[in-house]
Amino acid sequence: MRLLTLLSLTLLGFGSAPTLAAAKKTPEERFQHYHNKALSSAPLKLADASYRELTSAPRDYSVAVLLTAMDSRYGCQLCREFQPEWELLARSWTGGDKKGESRTVFGTLDFGDGRDIFMSLGLQTAPVLFLFPPTIGPHAVASPEPIRYDFTSGSQAAELVHSWLARHLPDRPHPPVKRPINWMRWISSLVILSGGLTASYAAWPYVLPVIQNRTVWAAVTLVCILLFTSGHMYNHIRNVPYVAGDGKGGISYFAGGFQNQYGLETQIVATMYGVLALCGINLAIKVPRMTDPRTQSVALFAWSGVLFVVYSLLLSIFRGKNQGYPYSLPPFM
């Protein structure tokens, strides 16, 4: 019973405001009013009443409303990321359509200003982007219900939302998104570039020997090869976590399964490859060039010992990744 009264109250509250407002103004007047407002500051900052008035049922214009929660208390990361894109879209659309030919109004309703709207719509998440198509006029659609934009796939650029809007508003002008020129970025990159050029000109006599140094090139090449062959590109593309917990409060260094890996894991593997390669290089190049027999024997023994142990460790790690791999070397059997 109580629920019923509550519901009817809400309905009353929801129903009465727009009828009052609509009684005052025709759809045409409403659009002109809000469009003029929008020309000075798009998107419009809406509150409960203005939201209801703008979206009330007989309308010959479209409304795009972003319901968002910008306050830091709600911790809505996506809202804050999307807000500048949304403002850019609204500004360039309204600015490119001063006469209102597309008959589209952009508005933003923050949770702080329109708590009741959020409640009445039963929204649990933010941001939500609604497009209210016109119900009367040449572009009228059958259902007055708004169309909801899907915020699932990753970052939202203004262009994506623009193409979504354009798809739903056919046969009307679609003013393109105009990104303002980022002067700060241009100036800073110019300064950095000229600074870099000056610095490199000044440092040229000192840099040149480094550039021409074969050992430096060899080192850079080997590091790159080790990075690539230890699955660094996989981390880069898949954004794998650096480490993960093992569920018991500890850290698991190696991901289970053949097709998975963690960031730290690839670094460990790259290091092991590096150590193995270093042993190989020393055994092939350094050791036979030692003139003292005693030093040579010690170096030989040490490098080959390290090689053996690390390779054994590598095999045992690989066995952990690939169950059923039958080969191993002592001591890590």
Partner 1 sequence: MSLGFCFQSSFSANPILLFAGFESIIHEFDPWFNFRATKYLVANGFYNFWDWFDDRTWHPLGRVTGGTLYPGLMVTSGVIYHALRALTIPVDIRNVCVLLAPGFSGLTAIAAYLLTNEMTPSPSAGLLAALFMGIAPGYISRSVAGSYDNEAIAIFLLVFTFYLWIKALKQGSMLWGALCALFYGYMVASWGGYAFITCLLPLHAFVLVCMGRYSTRLYVAYTTWYALGTLASMQIPFVGFLPVKTSEHMPALGIFGFLQLLAFLDYVRSAIPSRQFQTFLWLFAGAAFGLGLLGLVIATSAGFIAPWSGRFYSLFDTGYAKIHIPIIASVSEHQPTAWPAFFFDLNMLIWLFPVGVYLCFQQLADEHVFIVVYALFGSYFAGVMVRLMLTLTPVVCIAAAIAVSALLDTYLSVKSPKPEENQAVEGAEGKKAAKSGLKATNKPVVGVYTTWGKGMIVSALAVYLLLFVLHCTWVTSNAYSSPSVVLASRLPDGSQHIIDDYREAYQWLRQNTREDAKIMSWWDYGYQIGGMADRPTLVDNNTWNNTHIATVGKAMSSSEEVSYPIMRQHEVDYVLVVFGGLLGYSGDDINKFLWMVRIAEGIWPEEVSERAFFTPRGEYRVDGEATETMKNSLMYKMSYYNYNNLFPAGQAVDRMRGARLPEVGPTLSTLEEAFTSENWIIRIYKVKDLDNLGRDHSSAAAFERGHKKKKVTKKRGPRVLRVD
Residues 128-157 touching partner 1, rule: CB under 8 A, are 150, 152-154
Q: Tell which one of 191, 233, 251, 302 touches partner 1 (CB under 8 A).
A: 233
Q: Tell which one of 300, 306, 309, 313 touches partner 1 (CB under 8 A).
A: 300
Helix extents (H) in 131-182: 158-168
Judged on CB neighbours under 10 Å (0-12, 13-18, 19+), 267 is: middle
Between helix 214-229 and helix 263-281 the angle, nearest 10°, is 140
- Per-residue contact flags (x/-) with partner 1 for residues 254 to 293, judged by CB under 8 A: ----xxxx---xx--x--xxx-xx--xx-xxxxxxxxxxx
For residue 329, state whether it binds partner 1 (rule: CB under 8 A).
yes
**Nearest approach, Cβ of residue 143 and partner 1 (Å):** 15
**Nearest approach, Cβ of residue 304 and partner 1 (Å):** 6
Residues 37-96 touching partner 1, rule: CB under 8 A, are none
The CB density around residue 88, as the number of other CB atoms within 10 Å, is 19
Distances (CA, A) of 60 to 4, 135, 137, 226: 34, 6, 5, 64
The one segment of 54-62, 69-77, 198-206, 252-260 that binds partner 1 by CB under 8 A: 252-260
**Nearest approach, Cβ of residue 300 and partner 1 (Å):** 5
Nearest to 35 by CA among 90, 112, 115, 116: 90
Measured CA to CA, the distance from residue 78 to residue 83 in angstroms comes to: 8
The one segment of 19-27, 104-112, 185-193, 211-219 that binds partner 1 by CB under 8 A: 211-219
Nearest to 278 by CA among 226, 320, 324, 319: 226
Q: Tell which one of 1, 3, 23, 237 touches partner 1 (CB under 8 A).
A: 237
